[in-house]
Each structure stands twice: as structure tokens, then as C-alpha cells.
Amino acid sequence: MSIEVTTLDPWTDADEWNRYVERSDGTNPFFRAEALRLQAEDTGTTPHLIAGFKGQEAVGLFPIFSYERGPISGAFSPAPRSWSCYLGPATLNVDKLKQRKADRRIKRFLEGSIEWIEREISPHYTKIVAAEFEDVRPFVWNGYAVEPGYTYVVDLEGSKEELAKRFSSDARNNIRNADEDEYVVEEGGNDDVARIVEQVARRYESQGQPFHLSPDFAQAAHATLPDGSIRPYVCRVDGEFVGGILVVESDTTRYRWQGGVKPDTDVDLAINDLLDWHVMRDGLEDGLERYDLVGAGVPSINRYKAKFNPRLETNYTITSGAFGLDVLVDRYRKLR
């Protein structure tokens, strides 16, 4: 039986789409229909919820955003400059298949999705970031450029003591020697979401780097997605916010989405070590399996992340079309 590729409406079919998202191992909260609608609104794009079916059984999901301004058209997943967590394709009901059948099913779903994108959007440029999705061969076979990217992942296993023992000595000392009477690390509220994003924006600005994530978008995601999908971990000293990390949480994984930058104030505490430790410790206690540190491509930042003894995982940036059009799309967005 062939794979039928169709689209679901992000409003009227939201419940159906979300049921498939919840059943797929390769998704996160940003795949949910309400998150896709927020991304589309924030970026001036149109969301397309591509789904593949084998009979009545859902086998694949592929959220795509189309962008059209003047002569420029593009297809993106995630949306251009949205700063959302990973998107790209995801599969369902393939884990128990033999390799030949799994290969055939994934190939048919992706090729059907590519045909839909070419037919309905006709993009001059396509950019997809795929993580927790390994079989990108159909993109290569269809003429796309595939470039590997990297992230660090900490496996949340064993006891809290065993987890901390795997860290570097300085990380362990920073956690164990911190005076618990001098700070509080806790999960904050919606106002703390904005505080974390604004702190990151100031850090980027001080380094002369662009930062496109708006506090309004992050706060809307926190308020709209199911409880626990976005967790703003904050560190307070004398009741004042000094640092934070925005964590995205799926059924198995916590993602270090935003935050963890150099604190604005000078305090005698390893703020980010304490934040990351509480994120991992709480995830372990809640039965989660992984802490994705989201990125391992910047040497200066890698040194910090590597002290938690993570393993390296690969993700992929998949592109097609005219080089540099993503930059032009960004310029068009600024003129909206």
C-alpha cells in the first residue's frame, strides 16, 4: 500500500495533529498545532501541516512554513528566524518494522512530502533543520544539500549522585560547595520567561550579534502550550533574578532552549552550573531520559557544556535553492 501525503488544517484539525505529535518519538512541543500557529504569526509565514498515511495509520509528520514577499518564496522548518526548537520531519509506527520496510516507508513519505512542497509552494529556497531524525538520505537522493550539525546530550540515568559523579571536578565542586542559603533555583512563571529572553538579548547585543527571539513569542508559547512544555528555571539571590534557562520538555527529553548566559551581576556563585544541575536533577527525578544542551558547534561554549560529560549527537541542515536567500528573507521580515 502506498503512502498518501496530505495536509491538516492547523486550526480545525489541531486535535488530530496533536494526537499524532504525542505518539511520535521524534517530536517536541514546538510540533504542536498551537505552537506552529504562534511561529507563523511571529514570522509572517503560513503553516502547512503535512501528514503521511498508510491507509488509516499515520506514518509521518512534517510541519512546513511558506514565506512569500515580492519575488521571494521559501519553505522552512522551523520558520525563518523563529528561534524555535527543532522541527523537520518525524515518523510514527516505524520502530518495529524490519529495516527494508522502514526504509521504504520513510522514503515514500519524504518523497511525497517533497513533491507536495514543490507543487504547492514552489520555493526558490528551502531550509529544514532535522534532529532526532536520522534517515535524511531521501533528501540527498532528491538533490538537497545536507550539512551535519552537532549537539551535546546528557543521558539522565542512575542516581543523582551517579549523575553528578560523571561531571568534571569543577562542575561537581561548583554544585556541592554552593551555600544553599545564598540562592534559590526554582521553576518561575511567565514574567520570568521574559526576563530570561531579555537577558539573552542583552548578552547577544553586547557581543554585536543579532537575536531574533521576542519575549512576547516565548511568553505566548509558555502560556499556550500544555503545562510543563516550557519551563523557566531561574536563579535568585536575595530574591532578585540573576539568571535563568528556558527548558523545552517532551515525553523523554529536556532541551536547553534559551538562557544560561553570563549573568548581568557579579555574584560569587556558578549560576549556570547550578541552573543546569537543577534542570538535570529534576528531569532525572521525573523519569526523563535525556538533557539536550542544544548545540555543540561553538568552541567557546562547548568547553562549558562538555563538563557535564555529554555525548555528541548529529542533526542536519537540509537546503535547496539559491544560496543566501535565507538572508534576504530575513531582511524582508525586518521590513514588515
Work out the burial of residue 180: count CB atoms within 10 Å of its CB; fewer than 13 is exposed, 13-18 middle, 19 or more buried. Answer: exposed
Asked if 142 and 170 sit in the same domain, the reply is no
Length of the chain: 336
Are residues 8 and 134 located together in one domain of the fold? yes
Domain count, the chain: 2
One domain, residues 247 and 284: yes
Q: What is the value of pTM for the model shown?
A: 0.94
Residue 82 has φ and ψ, to the nearest 5°, of: -85, -25
Which residue from 219, 263, 216, 208 is spatially nearest to 240, judged by alpha carbons? 263
Kindly state whether residues 166 and 145 are assigned to the same domain: no
137 and 188 together in one domain: no
Contacts 24+ apart (CB under 8 A), 301-308: 302/152, 304/272, 305/152, 306/152, 306/168, 307/167, 307/168, 307/170, 307/171, 308/152, 308/154, 308/166, 308/167, 308/168, 308/171, 308/276, 308/280
Instruction: Specify whether 144 is located in the same domain as 173.
Output: no
Q: Please report whether residue 298 resides in a domain.
A: no
Separation of alpha carbons 37 and 24, rounded Å: 20
Taking residue 7's Cβ as centre, other Cβ atoms within 10 Å add up to: 18
pLDDT of residue 327: 59
In a domain, 123, yes or no: yes
* Residues 10 and 144 both lie in one domain: yes
Asked whether 275 and 235 are in contact (CB, 8 A), the reply is: yes
79 phi and psi angles, rounded to 5 deg? -60, 155
Do 14 and 111 fall within a single domain?
yes
The answer as to whether 293 is a domain residue is no
pLDDT for the residue 70 = 81
**CA separation for the pair 230, 273 (Å, rounded):** 20
Q: Is residue 302 part of a domain?
A: no
Supply the pLDDT for residue 202: 96
Is 310 domain-assigned? no
For 4-69, give the DSSP string: EEEEE-TTTTHHHHHHHHHH-TT--GGGSHHHHHHHHHHHT-EEEEEEEEETTEEEEEEEEEEEEE
306 is a domain residue? no
User: Helices 271-285 and 169-176: crossing angle, nearest 10°?
Assistant: 90
Cβ partners under 8 Å of residue 208, min gap 6: none
Q: Per residue of the chain (336 residues), what is the pLDDT tens digit?
A: 699 999 999 999 999 999 999 999 999 999 999 999 999 999 999 999 999 999 999 999 999 999 988 888 999 999 988 888 899 999 998 888 899 999 999 999 999 999 999 999 999 999 999 998 999 999 999 999 999 999 999 999 999 999 999 999 999 999 999 999 999 999 999 999 999 999 999 999 999 998 989 999 999 999 999 999 999 999 999 999 999 999 999 999 999 999 999 998 888 999 999 999 999 999 999 999 999 999 998 898 999 999 999 999 999 999 999 755 655 555 544 433
Q: What's residue 96's pLDDT?
A: 81
CATH number, domain containing residue 73: 3.40.630.30
The CA-atom distances, in angstroms, between 255 and each of 144, 210, 248, 292 are 28, 22, 5, 5
Grid cell digits, residue 257: 532552549
Rounded distance between C-alpha atoms, residue 176 and residue 196, angstroms: 25
**Packing angle, helices 33-43 and 14-23, rounded to 10:** 110
- The answer on 182 and 279 residing in a single domain is yes
CA 267 – CA 236 distance, rounded (Å): 11
Is residue 301 domain-resident?
Answer: no
Statement to judge: residues 193 and 123 lie in one domain:
no
Residues 91, 35 share a domain: yes
The answer to whether position 300 is within a domain reads no
Interatomic CA distance for residues 305 and 322, integer angstroms: 34
Q: Strand runs (DSSP E) across 56-144, as ranges?
A: 57-69, 72-77, 90-91, 125-130
Tell me which residue range forms the domain holding 222: 157-288
C-alpha distance from residue 71 to each of 47, 95, 120, 132, 140 (Å):
19, 42, 16, 34, 27
Same domain for 219 and 166: yes
